Amino acid sequence: MESDIRLEPSIEEWQEQRGRLNETVMAMAGLEIKRFFSLDGQTYRAGALDAKTKEFLGLVASLVLRCDDCILYHTIRCKEEGATTEEFREACTVGLVVGGSIVIPHLRRAAARWEELSKKPRDPPGNA
């Protein structure tokens, strides 16, 4: 079913704003913040688990924690890592079962964003 809902901001606007805000944070960051950002980036690199699997783990955790920014980020990254709609659906199901019905509003937005991303040509992995 195709969504006719226009989510604000657009994915492109959200990514641009996220980049600007990350620059603001890094401009004032001390060693601890810089180390945390580095650890976060390193954690999602392929290792014993591939990067796509790690993005699904991030998506599920974000659904359970109900962080819309994180859900959108991991939805984008799952798509970039080549996730299929079926894989995305199953990961969302895990998030819903673990988090319960309070996850449903966030699941709605994740599904709409996935649909939006599915209409765009896919970029190669890592081009976030």
What domains are there in the chain, each with its CATH number?
Answer: 44-118 (1.20.1290.10)
Q: Are 55 and 72 in contact (CB under 8 A)?
A: no
pLDDT at 128 over 50: no
- Find all residues with CB under 8 Å of 36, minimum gap 6, and list them: none
> Which tens digit of pLDDT belongs to each residue from 47-95?
999 999 999 999 999 999 999 999 999 999 999 999 999 999 999 999 9
Residue 8 is predicted with a pLDDT of: 83
pLDDT at 123 over 50: yes
Residue 45 is predicted with a pLDDT of: 96
pLDDT at 7 over 90: no
DSSP summary character for residue 121: P
How many other C-beta atoms are found inside a 10 Å radius of the C-beta of residue 19?
11
Q: Are 119 and 3 in contact (CB under 8 A)?
A: no
Residue 22 is predicted with a pLDDT of: 96
CA–CA dist 68, 86 (Å, integer): 21
